Amino acid sequence: MRLQVTVMKLHNFNSGPSILPQPVLEEASNAIHNFNNTGLSILEIGHRTSHFQEVLNNAIASVKRLMQLDDQYEVLFLHGGATTQFMQVPMNLLDDHKTAAYCDNGIWGSKAIKEASLFGDVVVAASSADKNYSYIPKDLQFPENASYLHITTNNTVEGTQWHQYPTTDVPLIGDMSSDIFSREIDFKKFSLIYAGAQKNMGAAGVNMLVIKKDILGKIQRRIPTIMNYQKHIEAGSLMNTPPVFAVYVSMLTLKWIEDEGGLIEMGKRSTERATLLYNTLDSLPLFKTNIAKEDRSEMNAVFFIEDENLQNLFLEECKQAGFIGVKGYRTVGGVRVSMYNALPLSSVAAMTDLMQSFAAKHS
């Protein structure tokens, strides 16, 4: 007699590394054993072989199609997460005795400011620190001759998101790590975009950059070769051994986005998930959020229960229900529900059902 084992369905709300599409996981699993019928694992293929070059070319082509980019832009897949770009952006774009403008809208923007200050003068164009980063300030002030303006398009920790980007005559730089490819936008508003892959775009270990070529070559600083954007462009992302498997998973995920209907469809699903979650949140007085309504993130909903004992009980019930990754970031606390592209609406529905039943018992 065969023993049947029931496995609990898990709902993956992790903020990153986060949920990936099931078809991507299946194809990546197969490739670990036999990549494209080569008899080799994707973990074993040479990075300068035609096999990997095809993977890289396909990934770049998907990015350009999804973003509707022309030949003015280059796409790179590099080592290091977005945090590496906190120093690499100013190293390549900010000369000594020049000024860069940064928006301080959360922990990652604040960290980016700290790193940029090592390479030149930094002015804070706007900050929401006065209200614990609970809103996106709309009135930006910075010098007209600033080298660039840097924003974090979605604040994963605090739960805010830019829904309209600032209009500026200086190059706009975007850290899009946590909302990349989640909606259709005019990517050409940006001169440089960077994003760690591990939220909407693939596995941890690779960082994608989109660079408008005309912003490069304007500084006098000597840049270490491995940190120089121009050298990486010349080498086609192959200056050194790239994170082959992470690039491959990104290629599969980008293909999945295209196959599912592209950014229009991703945006529709994002809004549907967020609407369900926030409508439930607003209907239940037990749950609170301090985030300005017009600035709420569609990727990361952050909320709390005022009674800490009740909040801990809610988090325990989430754990028992198979909800993964819902405890808020250590500096913020509370509850965080991350709703990236691969998260099914049914997972959000399961969360809202639990919120309603918990509120009915404890209100």
Q: How far apart are the first and last CA of the chain?
A: 48
Task: Tell me the one-letter amino acid at 157.
Answer: V
Residue 9 confidence (pLDDT): 77
214 and 71 co-located in one domain: yes
pLDDT tens by residue, 246-288: 999 999 999 999 999 999 999 999 999 999 999 999 999 999 9
Give a yes or no: residue 5 inside a domain: no
- Token readout for 60 is 């770049």
Catalytic residue flag (residue 256): no
240 and 298 co-located in one domain: no
Residues near 225 by Cβ (< 8 Å), separated by ≥ 6? Answer: 231, 239
157 and 42 co-located in one domain: yes
Residue 81 confidence (pLDDT): 86
Burial 197-220 (b: 16+ CB within 10 A, else e): bbbbbbbbbbbbbbbbeebbeebe
Q: Which of 162, 179, 199, 255 is catalytic?
A: 199
Catalytic residue flag (residue 199): yes
Residue 126 confidence (pLDDT): 97
108: left (phi over 0), alpha (psi -120 to 50) or beta: alpha
- In which domain, by residue range, is 140 found? 24-259
Q: Which of 108, 179, 255, 295 is catalytic?
A: 108
68 and 140 co-located in one domain: yes
Give a yes or no: residue 244 inside a domain: yes
**Residue finishing a domain among 259, 281, 296:** 259
Under a CB-based contact definition with an 8 Å cutoff, are residues 199 and 180 in contact?
Answer: yes
Residue 4 confidence (pLDDT): 55
Q: Which of 104, 175, 179, 295 is catalytic?
A: 175
266 and 134 co-located in one domain: no
Which CATH number belongs to the domain containing residue 87 in this structure? Answer: 3.40.640.10
**Residue finishing a domain among 224, 259, 294:** 259
Give mean pLDDT in consecutive 10-residue pieces for the chain, a chain of 363 residues.
61 96 97 96 95 97 98 96 95 94 97 96 97 96 96 98 96 98 98 97 96 95 96 95 97 98 98 98 98 98 97 97 95 96 98 98 91
Residue 221 confidence (pLDDT): 92
How many domains does the chain contain in total? Answer: 2
DSSP per residue, 229-286: HHHHHHHTT-SS---HHHHHHHHHHHHHHHHTTHHHHHHHHHHHHHHHHHHHHHH-TT
**Residue finishing a domain among 232, 259, 286:** 259
Residue 97 confidence (pLDDT): 87
354 and 238 co-located in one domain: no
Give a yes or no: residue 108 inside a domain: yes
